[in-house]
Amino acid sequence: MNNLPRRWVMPVLGLLMFAGLCACIATGPGYDGGVGVGYIGGVYEPNGYDYGGWGGSYQVGPPRGHERRRERPPAHTYRAAPQTRPIPSIPTRPGRPWHPTPPRPPQP
Amino acid sequence: MRDYRHHARHLLPYGLCALFLCATGIATAKEAPFELPPLVEPATAEHHVGKVIWLDLMTPDLAGAKQFYSGLFGWTFRDIHVGKTDYAIAYLDGQPVGGVFQRPEPSGKHRQPTWLTFFAVRDVDAAERTAVKHGAKVVFGPRSYPQRGRQAVFADPEGAYFAVLASTSGDPSDVLALPGDWIWSALLTPDPDKDAAFYQALFDYDAFGLQSGDGLEHVILSSDDYARASVNALPSNSSRPHPRWVNFVRVLDTDAAAAKAAALGGRVLVAPHIDRHGDKIAVVADPAGASFGLMEWSDTDSKKEPE
């Protein structure tokens, strides 16, 4: 009876090491583990900014490819493309055929 | 009999150990690591550095978001639940278009849910070094997801959040976005000149300054000879100017889509109006407050003059 605890030492140590290893595997590379969740909370934006001031002349969309460049570009921090280069547009080559899923009606 | 008892007592710890190992193994297998699906299936060898290739929504109301976006764009969702993470992949016509995280608001703080914009890079670690060198802050350092690739999240020098992703399955092709898919991204910032230089350093963009009727600075950023995004000075009368990326979904009718967004519990933040490409855009928010844009893009090149 006296030597029973000694017999348990090695299995218990083995169990503890294995359990620790399992914990690392289970929580390691996922969004749910450790620092994995960090970025989600971090990119919540501060509440309360507004979207005012988008009048008809305020434009943020893509060009069609024939917009005018600046006549005399001022000095920029960015490296402006040569004045002779036209402004490119977005990709307009058709992709795969479209099979729209019927939108669900609004729930009351 | 005595021998039998002796042997049984001797073997008991080992038996218990084997039982525990089996149980732990099963539990570990069930608690599989969080897997993000490949960006492109089947995989391609295409890479378009600087292209917006993915968006993740962080919201406190996953169920509400799924109902809203499925009603507005016909997106369908596949749920992924691992541990405490509730996530859903949004699909348009069978192709993944974004992800939605259920994320409770921090206690005591009211934060605004947001769409996070992912740009394609070839090397996330190199992008991190370049971003930091040019004034960005690392929000979430590089991390790999076996099927998806390697990604990281930064705040640009003016504070707008964005992410980079080196996709292991290649990047989506450069084709016209389908209605219901993301078509354009615009950065609103207090200093477009500085931010355009930052993103140019990071993605090797070509940059084009634009003439605009509002007297504010606008820059088009392009790669592979395609316009990828615009950098725009915040409207001068913004009361709380906060730099942010606004991503636009292609719609067939901006007026109708904005009205539907409102009917589904969202809000119209910027009313539909003609933009420089000759079609209408609007900015709306989902019921939880995450903002995004709506944009028409007619196939015909019939430019209308902005009103």
**Distance of alpha carbon B273 from alpha carbon A58, whole angstroms:** 10
Whether the CB of B52 is below 8 Å from some CB of chain A: the reply is no
Terminal CA-to-CA distance of chain B, rounded, Å? 99
Q: Do A30 and B16 touch (CB under 8 A)?
A: no
For chain A, how many helices (H) and strands (E)?
2, 1
Q: Does B135 touch chain A (CB under 8 A)?
A: no
| 8 Å CB contact between A46 and B112 | yes
B51, B65 Cβ separation under 8 angstroms: no
Per-residue pLDDT of B6-32, as tens digits, reads 555 655 555 555 555 545 444 444 445
CA distance B125 to chain A (A): 17
Q: Is the ipTM of this complex over 0.85?
A: no
All residues at 6 or more sequence positions from B246 whose CB lies less than 8 Å from its CB, including other chains: A60, B185, B186, B187, B188, B283, B291, B292, B293
Stretch 229-288 of chain B: residues touching chain A, C-beta under 8 Å: 230, 232, 234-242, 244, 246, 248, 260, 263-264, 269-270, 273-279, 281, 283
Counting as low any pLDDT under 70, the low residues of chain B are 1-34, 106, 238, 300-307
pLDDT score recorded for residue B201:
98
Q: What is the pLDDT of residue B103?
A: 80
Radius of gyration of chain B (CA): 24
State both tokens at A13: 């140590």
Whether the pLDDT of residue A31 is over 60: the answer is no
Closest CA–CA distance from residue B46 to any residue of chain A (Å):
15
Do the beta carbons of residue B264 and residue B218 sit within 8 Å? no
**Of A24 and B118, the one with more pLDDT:** B118
Q: Using the 8-state DSSP alphabet, how is residue B135 labeled?
A: T
In contact, A102 and B72? CB cutoff 8 Å: no
Closest CA to B222 of B51, B41, B39: B51
CB-CB under 8 Å, B214 with A58 = yes
Q: Cβ of B212 and A28 within 8 Å?
A: no
Q: Which amino acid is at B4?
A: Y
pLDDT tops 70 at residue A63: yes
- Could you give the residue ranges of the DSSP H alpha helices within chain A? 4-27, 38-42
* Residue contact B71–A54, C-beta within 8 A: no
Whether a cis peptide bond, with omega within 30° of 0, leads into B179 is: no
Q: What is the count of residue pairs from A and B with beta carbons less than 8 Å apart? A: 300
User: Are A58 and B230 inside 8 Å of each other by CB?
Assistant: no
Peptide linkage before B42 cis (omega within 30 of 0)? yes
- Say how many C-beta atoms besides its own lie within 10 A of residue B198's C-beta: 24
What is the pLDDT of chain B when averaged over all its residues?
87
Judge contact between A32 and B102, C-beta under 8 A.
no
pLDDT band at A53 (very low <50, low <70, confident <90, very high): confident
Among candidates A18, A53, A92 on the partner chain, residue whose Cβ is nearest the Cβ of B236: A53
Helices A4-27 and B2-30: crossing angle, nearest 10°?
10
Mean pLDDT of A12-24: 61
Q: How many CB atoms lie within 10 A of CB B147?
A: 14
Tell me what the mean pLDDT of segment A70-96 comes to. Answer: 83
Reply yes or no on whether the pLDDT at A3 is more than 90. no
Residues of B in contact with A50 (CB under 8 A): 238-240, 269
